[in-house]
Structure formats: C-alpha cells, structure tokens
Amino acid sequence: MENFSVNSAKSYIGKNVNLHLKDGAVIINVQLIGIHKGSGKNNLIEYTPYGNRRSTCIPLRIVAWAELLNSNFLLRAA
C-alpha cells in the first residue's frame, strides 16, 4: 500500500471521509478543507467535522489512508 501523500489528499478535498491514522485511530465523518504545505515533511491537512464550522489541522504524515463516504447515505440520515 502506498503512503498517503499530498497528491492523494488533494483528490479528497471538499469530500466527506473517514481518516485512518497510523496508530489505528479513526477520525470519522470529516470534510477535508485543504492542505497547508510546510517546509519538508511538515504538511498539514485541514478538516472540519460534519455539522461543525470549526476546522482542525493534523500532520499529513500521521494519516495512513482516507475512506470516502457515500454522500447519499449522509443526506438521508439527516
């Protein structure tokens, strides 16, 4: 499996995903807002939880992979 990189993160911007971290934790149902590039390996992913306006940033290097969520399911549940 390939590492989660800036290029793969760009394809998920504006979409609802579950972020699977390298330590086994999962951040569920968040929308990726953007990527903040830093020097070297200090890139950050900015996301906001579903139904919330406050955004949070985490380092890109701790994300193992992202799972795309079905937006039709989210719209029916709301």
Per-residue pLDDT of the chain (78 residues; tens, 9 = 90+): 567 889 999 999 999 999 999 999 999 999 999 999 887 778 999 999 988 889 999 999 999 999 999 866 655 555
Q: Which helix (H) or strand (E) holds 50?
A: none
Q: What is the DSSP letter of 3?
A: P
User: Is domain 6-77 given the CATH code 3.50.50.60 in the classification?
Assistant: no
**How open is the CA angle 13-47-60, to the nearest 5 degrees?**
80
Amino acid in position 70: N
Domain ranges for the chain, please list them. 6-77
Q: In this structure, what token pair is assigned to residue 63?
A: 């994300």
- So what's the pLDDT on residue 2? 64
Do residues 31 and 15 make contact, with C-beta atoms less than 8 angstroms apart? yes
- So what's the pLDDT on residue 31? 94
- So what's the pLDDT on residue 42? 87
